[in-house]
Chains A and B, each alone.
Chain A
């Protein structure tokens, strides 16, 4: 009996424990009600293009050697949250679902195009809690598809006793994404408004 149990446990461990247990983290994919309090929409027409790899972005960073296996479906939550964030930040928001071109921008009268890509995902699991960070790269183009500004934006969420609560890691991931999007939208708003002032001034 003892031997059978040992063999069974050993085989389970060797079989790839990540497929047997672990955390499969799907964030809610919606912004919190605080976001609309921190962002005011600007009267600018802006298009957003999310490369296909953004929606498919996943990470299996455990955050520690002895931590449970974890799979974070980052892109699955990032895309709808990005859409919502840009809807909140720009009054005339357009989503480009096809490869953008200068001709399309000119034909539709779109002065700016933002392209967002996820570059890095970080996870740190400690005895106390968990810290999640997301890093993105954003390029704002003008109507001729020349870059106006190129910047990196990141968002971090650090909380304790995350795994002890139902929905803890999911909400933690959601918070990190939201902070990143807050930084992106604020930076884009500043850049666009500065440019508009220069052109009008």
Chain B
């Protein structure tokens, strides 16, 4: 043997000695490749990493990490539920579900109860045009001139053949233009007389319970709006 005997490999040390080295390295906080030399027992015959491996087991460290990550992931999924969920609440007993829709004109949300098998089947507004402008009933006033009150809603899209009839008339095709008029003669005078008693339309034997005839501004407006109700049957039937 040489005079300068190399220190034996830690793994080759007696068990007691090996265990002491592990504890020493652990207490020193030795990390892979960061062992400082010289060690008390001298320079090992093996690279430093073996010395570090002697004091610590990576396998155990990795398993602990994986367990921790698994628990963290489980808690995260349970609490935050990042997986896609249904936007409605399904009521299994009645085979219906609750949805929140928006009014097609106003955008105001409302609750709908729909069938699970055909959620869009009963949607009254799936083909409706979105948006709109609230009407101004001052347009109905007799004294309002055309164009005075702006109107941005739908208008009749049918063209009239008045122009055609007039053009034919000018060509001499007809003696006098047959122009359909939007009026009748000899009918009841305009105003409330046409439907003076909306209650008359109610089946006999009923009593009108509410009648509301309004003229929004009696001194100014010249059109009539009426509302009425007539109770047909009242009372709750019991089983």
Point out the residue from A4, A95, A165 that lies within 8 Å of B110, measured CB to CB.
A95
CB A41 to nearest CB in B, in angstroms, measures 12
Kindly list chain B residues whose C-beta atoms are within 8 Å of the C-beta of A135.
198, 201
Q: Contacts A2-B173, A98-B114, A149-B234 known; A174 to B135 CB distance under 8 Å?
A: yes
Asked if B105 and A29 make an inter-chain contact with CB atoms under 8 angstroms apart, the answer reads yes
Q: Contacts A103-B93, A154-B198, A157-B224 known; A183 to B229 CB distance under 8 Å?
A: yes
Asked if A104 and B132 make an inter-chain contact with CB atoms under 8 angstroms apart, the answer reads no
Kindly list chain A residues whose C-beta atoms are within 8 Å of the C-beta of B157.
24
Main secondary structure of the interface of A (DSSP, over half): mixed
Chain A 94-115 interface mask (CB, 8 Å, partner B; 1/0): 1111100101100110000000
Asked if A103 and B94 make an inter-chain contact with CB atoms under 8 angstroms apart, the answer reads yes
- Give the interface size bracket for A toward B: 35 or more
Those 9 A-B pairs whose CB atoms lie nearest each other, nearest first: A5-B173, A97-B122, A64-B184, A167-B151, A128-B190, A159-B140, A28-B153, A183-B227, A159-B223
CB A90 to nearest CB in B, in angstroms, measures 11
Q: Report the number of A-B residue pairs with Cβ-Cβ less than 8 Å.
A: 321
Kindly list chain B residues whose C-beta atoms are within 8 Å of the C-beta of A58.
none
CB A107 to nearest CB in B, in angstroms, measures 6
Kindly list chain A residues whose C-beta atoms are within 8 Å of the C-beta of B223.
157-160
Asked if A66 and B228 make an inter-chain contact with CB atoms under 8 angstroms apart, the answer reads no
Point out the residue from B105, B174, B187 that lies within 8 Å of A5, measured CB to CB.
B174
Point out the residue from A4, A26, A28, A131 that lies within 8 Å of B190, measured CB to CB.
A131
Kindly list chain A residues whose C-beta atoms are within 8 Å of the C-beta of B110.
83, 87, 93-95
Kindly list chain B residues whose C-beta atoms are within 8 Å of the C-beta of A34.
137, 216
Is B71 located at the chain interface by the 8 A CB criterion?
Answer: no
Is B144 located at the chain interface by the 8 A CB criterion?
Answer: yes
Beyond A87-B108, A165-B146, list 12 extra A-B contacts (CB 8 Å).
Answer: A21-B161, A23-B158, A26-B154, A30-B135, A66-B181, A80-B103, A107-B91, A131-B191, A150-B231, A158-B194, A166-B147, A167-B135
Kindly list chain B residues whose C-beta atoms are within 8 Å of the C-beta of A12.
161, 164
Is B178 located at the chain interface by the 8 A CB criterion?
Answer: yes
Point out the residue from B121, B158, B190 that lies within 8 Å of A22, measured CB to CB.
B158
Asked if B172 and A9 make an inter-chain contact with CB atoms under 8 angstroms apart, the answer reads no
Asked if A127 and B183 make an inter-chain contact with CB atoms under 8 angstroms apart, the answer reads yes
**C-alpha spacing A55/B140, complex, angstroms:** 25
Q: Contacts A150-B234, A179-B227, A183-B228 known; A104 to B94 CB distance under 8 Å?
A: yes
Is A33 located at the chain interface by the 8 A CB criterion?
Answer: yes
Kindly list chain B residues whose C-beta atoms are within 8 Å of the C-beta of A64.
183-184, 187
Is A14 located at the chain interface by the 8 A CB criterion?
Answer: no
